[in-house]
């Protein structure tokens, strides 16, 4: 595997994103962060540690959209969110990677159905060349990357490689 982003580069970018979010949400008493599991767990944990000055509730949603290195046609969403958690809130969805945008489109639809006041997106990785649907409100983007399958820092291939501290390009020979 080849390193795409090393640990220091990732941490520097997470710090920059956290600073932007801190400024934008500092006085917002009606905000909520929703972390998309499982892939976002490392990114979200570091991001939240870099935002010690604001106190915003955090919830989780789990979406499964990949089978191996291919996106599945079927999305599985597991959530324990309730309308009372979301209604009238300014929601920031924390995602590891935006690829086709279909997963995020489904999450946004779901969160909107719970009557969020607004929705913004924070993603560490973005693949604009792979977009199949328009993703709105991707206000906080760490890195734009090419169409390559990446693992590490929470991102996986068949539940492996999440533990790597670097983001690596998974090549055919690594499968």
Dist CA 49 CA 80 (whole Å): 24
Q: Mean pLDDT over all residues of the chain?
A: 87
Which residues are tagged catalytic? 99
**Residue 83 burial (CB < 10 Å; 0-12/13-18/19+)?**
exposed
Q: Is the pLDDT of residue 123 over 90?
A: yes
Q: Is residue 108 part of a domain?
A: yes
Q: Is residue 59 part of a domain?
A: yes
Residue pLDDT, tens place only, 164-173? 999 999 987 7
- How many domains, the chain? 1
Q: Is residue 173 part of a domain?
A: no
Q: Is residue 167 part of a domain?
A: no
Residue 75's pLDDT is what? 58
Q: Is residue 168 part of a domain?
A: no
Q: Return the top range by mean pLDDT from 21-25, 43-47, 56-60.
A: 43-47
CATH of the domain at 35: 3.40.50.2020
- Average pLDDT rounded to a whole number, residues 7-30: 93
Residue showing tokens 């955090």: 58
Q: Which domain holds residue 128?
A: 7-148
Distances (CA, A) of 76 to 66, 112, 167: 10, 18, 25
Dist CA 50 CA 28 (whole Å): 17
Q: Is the pLDDT of residue 70 over 70?
A: no
Count H helices and E strands in the chain, helices first.
4, 9
Residue 100: pLDDT band with limits 50, 70, 90: confident
Q: Is residue 161 part of a domain?
A: no
Residue 102's pLDDT is what? 86
At 88, is the secondary structure helix, strand, or coil? coil
Residue 22's pLDDT is what? 92
Residue 62: pLDDT band with limits 50, 70, 90: confident
Residue 158: CA count within 13 A, CB half-sphere? 5
Give the pairing of strands 150-151 and 167-169: antiparallel
Q: Is the pLDDT of residue 53 over 80?
A: no
Residue 68's pLDDT is what? 53
Q: Is the pLDDT of residue 26 over 60?
A: yes
Q: Is residue 174 part of a domain?
A: no
Give the 3-state secondary structure of 104-158. HHHHHHHHHHCCCCEEEEEEEEECHHHCCCCCCCCCEEEEECCCCCEEECCECEC
């Amino acid at each position: 595997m080849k390193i795409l982003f090393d640990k220091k580069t990732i941490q520097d970018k997470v710090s920059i994103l956290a600073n932007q979010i801190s400024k934008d949400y500092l006085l917002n008493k009606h905000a909520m962060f929703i972390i998309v599991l499982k892939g976002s767990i490392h990114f979200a944990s570091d991001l939240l540690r870099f935002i010690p000055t604001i106190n915003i509730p955090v919830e989780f949603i789990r979406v499964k959209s990949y089978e191996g290195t291919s996106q599945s046609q079927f999305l599985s969403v597991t959530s324990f969110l309730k309308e009372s958690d979301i209604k009238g809130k300014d929601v920031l969805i924390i995602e590891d990677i935006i690829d086709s945008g279909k997963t995020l489109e489904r999450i946004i639809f779901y969160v909107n159905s719970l009557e969020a006041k607004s929705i913004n997106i924070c993603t560490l990785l973005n693949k604009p060349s792979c977009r199949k649907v328009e993703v709105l409100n991707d206000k906080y983007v760490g890195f734009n990357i090419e169409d390559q399958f990446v693992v590490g820092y929470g991102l996986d291939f068949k539940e492996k490689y999440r533990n790597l501290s670097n983001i690596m390009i998974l090549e055919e020979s690594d499968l």
